[in-house]
Chain A
Amino acid sequence: MRLRGAPRSFGGVIVTAVLLFAALVGALALWPNRSYRLPWQDSFASGDIDGWQAFGGAWSPYKGGIRNNSDERGAKFITGSPAWSDYAVDADVSLLGEDGDAGIIVRSSDEEEGVDSYSGYYVGLRDSNNSLTIGRADHGWAEYQAVSPRERLLPSHWYHLHIVAVGCSIAAVASSGTPGDRTWVAMYEPSCARSGRIGLRSYSSGGLWKNIRVSRAGSGELNPLLAQAPPQPKPGFLQSEAGFNSLRLNQPGISSQFTENLHQAATAPLAPIGQLSGLSAGQPVTVAIRGSVTLISPRVYVQDATGGATVEFLHAPSLKIGDEVQIAGEVEPSHFSAALHKATGHVLWQRSPAPPISVSATQAAVGLYDARFIETEAEVDGVRDSAGGQIELLLHSGYQHFVSIVDSQANPSPLRNIRPHSRVRVRGVCVVDPAFTGNAAGFAILLRSSSDVHVLAGPPWWALRNLLAAGMALPVVALLGLFVYSRAEHWRMRAVLDERLRMAREVHDTLAQGYAAIAFQLESAIDREGRISTPESVTRALQMAERSRGEAHLSIASLRALHAEARFSELLRRLLAVQIASGITLAIRSYGTERRLPVEIESNLLRIIQECVANTVRHAKAALVQVELHYAPELLSVTVSDDGTGFDPDAAPGTEEGHYGLAGMRERSARIGADFQLTSAPAGTCIRVRVPLPRSRSVAWGYTLSLFRRTLRRLGGLRLAAFGRSEQMDAKDNPRFDLR
């Protein structure tokens, strides 16, 4: 059973599928994500950080907010909808350290790891030059404005940022909570980024963010801010003398703490961390070390160029990954590294975290890199929750099996989405402590956050999931193939039937009618006794038999000619040469670019011209017969003329008298959508047939055009006036590819 209105050809199915696909893509692209409808608010208070994407840094929920515990420059944490355009962002922001900045990105897109590797606008609190800054990032930074607040910016102090992006104006106000301490900045960019997500960003200092809200905004929200700070129309670059002077006003200068730290670092006797494991374990030894913090949770790890150690503080200072610290404590040496107990120390300065050492799993397993920050590549076996509330990524590389462990607070959900058998690169602190390995593997890797796992490649093609998918897809492909095959078979049968139909029509038009007329004449010639009563009828029957024989001959000749790879004018020349009697001159001329015609048109034109020439030879007493073919891009005009005696078409005998010539020509013309015009005068007769041609010059194009028009017609019953044709003409213009 076929559904009413359903497409009836394979082409229609394809076009319908393409349109449905386009509709689906368009709808999905335009449909707003339910999770990001405005107003929107973070859910850090419940520890939920799904939907956020980290680009560097070590992000984890912390006391109802989110913390980037890394000094990495330009670490970003992005969320929201790319379709958000005019909106306001409210957030509480705190810097974790000095000499850096932390703030909010609006209208963000095209993000990747790197300092300014995103497109968007950034409003940040910067304590290195004590300013609220606003600017444009597009894989490079253009600062539009930096304004010093009335009171000096302090680490670990909450500031409220209110940012409004409407049209091409971005404005912001920062308030410290102290009455009257509010700082405004604003910018205007003519060719601006008009939409994008939001993000949290810090540079060197790390940061804390909470109470992030996004709401729709308009000029009502923007104008009060612009009234306080006229928007800067272009960025300022401060390398000139004037710029230098303005910069110097904001520069806090070198702090006494820095000076103290520097002197202390330059004069303190320090032990290389790599040598601590070689100290005697007999009695406690107190040493001082200096190194960079590589991990904070579940333990603090510090490393220098010679090795790494774990540190247990008596009173832990506020640490971030990358901090350069100086620590003194009791050494507990172990086989591969050491631990410092009862440690005291302080942060010397903040640094961008050190890059990892690339090692193989086997190198890591021998213990040489214990307590050091490494990276290695491996294949994922699975993910599991550990008893300690951590997430463990089960990995192997060659024969080495190990786990990568991330704290459940450190955004573990992306790890759960990694498919088994994926190839990954993991970065973290290598540990051989059985507390982490459980002696089930030589080592484990403690991750800073889930962004330390980078998927290099998905599962191979033979993975179970892919095989199942292939198993499910195979029947669909087979059905599709079967469908295509059945359609092709249908087309082939249709072509055979069309050809049979055409031949049947040919027989009906010539032989069958001729036999009927002969039979009629012979019946009328014989009386009831079976004697021939009217010999004239017999004579007419004989004439008719002769004409039918001639018709059959012409049909066979034209059918043979149609299979020849010759030009139409050449076909005509061959066919008409046998019809022309002696004493008659035949002239065939062709104008325009001659080309192969569709079979239906070619065969009907041949038969029309044959009939014309036959009539001329029989009746016109002509000395010259001219056939002219005029090829235009979309039209073929055929003119057959003679210099004979002419005749009166209205008085000419018709089908009722057994003459089918003129009627047959008109029928054939109508069949191919052609105009048929007959003009006759005493000086001769002229027949003109104007048949529309497909514009195409190639079979493929003809097929495509026919398919397209047919599909459009079925979709909407359209009149193809735009194509300059009537519907009737289109139905006939390329019957070779008629798929009905």
Chain B
Amino acid sequence: MTTIAHTENRAGQTNNVSANERGYFVPKVNIVETKDSFILEAEMPGVTKEGLEVRLEGNELSIVGGRETGVPGAEPVYRESSPRDFRREFVLDPSIDTAKLSATIEQGVLTLTLPKTEKVKPRKIQVTD
């Protein structure tokens, strides 16, 4: 599992062998951290909104992308792509407000916005006289 954590240990712990062994394809992800949120992008070519499942259980987030592969009525001659569905799991840091997750998918890239709770957002404090 990939850890998304608001801590010093930025390398995180990664173990996606489980998803791989269960017959899924592990999508490539990019994660950036802004002051308000984490933004996660996952490459899931061929996955539509209907084929996508984003599930949250406690602090574990899983993304699953089902896809149709092949060309109806045509025979494969040569194949490099994987016919497997996508799956990857993440452990979310407690600083993430799990009630406010949002997801969009566009041209095979899933974008998840994981906002931080109000408590951990940096705040500017006005100095009053």
Q: Decide whether A and B assemble into one complex.
A: no
